[in-house]
Amino acid sequence: MLHVNENYAKIKPTYLFAEIAHRVSAHLEANPGAKVIRLGIGDVTEPLCPAVIEAMHKAVDDEAGRSNFHGYGPEQGYAFLREKIAKFDFQDRGIDIAADEILVSDGAKCDCGNIQELFGPDVKIAVGDPVYPVYVDTNVMAGRGDITLLSCTAENGFVPSPSDLPDEGQPDVVYLCYPNNPTGAVATKPQLQAWVDWANSRKALILFDAAYEAFIRTPGIPHSIYECDGARTCAIEFRSYSKTAGFTGVRCGYTVVPKGLCAYTADGTPVELRPMWTRRQTTKFNGASYITQRGAEAIYSPEGQAQTKATIDFYLGNAKLMREALQGLGYTVTGGADSPYLWVDVKGDSWAFFDRLLKEANIVTTPGAGFGRAGEGFIRISAFNSRENVIEAIERLKGVL
């Protein structure tokens, strides 16, 4: 008899966005023709920038001829892309990361989800609460149900600190995501440095999700965990081109695993994680496509950098308009300055507020409760939309709130 992985029964059966989609379709059925504005799911709305399109067209042409055709590529990613990443995302910012410490993938979700395969079944995990659900669900699927939740509240500026950890049973792995999804909060260098110092002192590991790094505009806010002293010996970092350059449909990202970063066997023998992650990826993944990686490379050209920055500035402009409007209506709002997300304190039940905005204003948001217990009382609003829709949404919000 086939025995099922019963851990799957322990994850929430419906994914948050499936429930939202269900409520939106019920609303549309009851109100045919309602012009719904979707500020819920965090998908981009602006097309790929011209530099990326041009590079991808050229890469398609490469594939059309025998001389430039590319079949299976290097599983860790093409050197042309890894070298650009090392230079532009790290070395030019004074960060010590080399091209062979970077593994290109088809996005941060897979990497954030798969990384836990490198750790023992009994490692203790901690995550922020509210949280991007992938960190929790992938650990629960693997049988790690005892997860420490670190409350992110207005009191701690939505950034937990190692002093929030229990004295007994401290975690071995902490997931940190800044700029944060869903709260839009950013972490300062001293806040991240405290986590790095804690992790090094305990031989623990930080999994740093920097998927929204490109939205940081405030000087001094770290773009990478490796800006902190000692992070090379205690942190893995995930990056994504999804929100940076509109690659949600194209699919590309990367993970940084520094040389010398270790986990330990039961008898305390260190085992390097970079060769393990390489082995995992080369066994279970065959690389992002050549065309995709040529597109990603183009993000680092002068034109690509200017064009992607302009698109992010546009989304940040949307965020600013909505933040100011909500603040004007008396709401306390986090995020939206260095992040595409606004985290709005609705001072009440988040699903009820979601339903109210849907019914009265035809606006879709994301109820904070869907991201964890500490998300109750908040809604997340995404700035990924057209300016026209954002302006219309603001008018509607002013009408109902």
253 contributes a contact to ligand PLP by CB under 6 A? yes
Pick one of 188, 248, 305, 389: the residue that binds ligand PLP (CB under 6 A). Answer: 248
CA proximity to 126, closest of 157, 162, 101, 90? 162
The distance of closest approach from Cβ of residue 382 to ligand PLP in the complex, given in angstroms and rounded to an integer, is 10
The distance of closest approach from Cβ of residue 209 to ligand PLP in the complex, given in angstroms and rounded to an integer, is 5
Pick one of 20, 37, 40, 42: the residue that binds ligand PLP (CB under 6 A). Answer: 42
According to CB under 6 A, which residues from 176 to 215 bind ligand PLP?
Answer: 177, 181, 209, 211
Binding mask 94-113 for ligand PLP (x = CB under 6 A): -------------xxx--x-
Instruction: Convert 272-293 to b/e letters by CB count within 10 Å (16 or more is b).
Output: ebbebbbebbeeebebbbbbbb
**Residue 163 buriedness (CB in 10 A; 0-12 / 13-18 / 19+):** exposed
Please identify, using beta-carbon distances, which residue of 242 and 362 lies nearer to ligand PLP: 242
- Residue 42, amino acid: G
Task: Report yes or no: 194 and 162 within 8 Å, Cβ to Cβ.
Answer: yes
CA distance 276 to 372: 31
H or E element that contains 397: helix 387-400
Please identify, using beta-carbon distances, which residue of 90 and 212 lies nearer to ligand PLP: 212
Please identify, using beta-carbon distances, which residue of 150 and 211 lies nearer to ligand PLP: 211
The distance of closest approach from Cβ of residue 398 to ligand PLP in the complex, given in angstroms and rounded to an integer, is 29
Task: Report yes or no: 396 and 362 within 8 Å, Cβ to Cβ.
Answer: yes
240 contributes a contact to ligand PLP by CB under 6 A? yes
CA torsion through residues 119, 223, 318, 326, sign: positive
The distance of closest approach from Cβ of residue 101 to ligand PLP in the complex, given in angstroms and rounded to an integer, is 19
Residues that bind ligand PLP (CB under 6 A): 42, 107-109, 112, 132, 177, 181, 209, 211, 240, 242, 248, 253
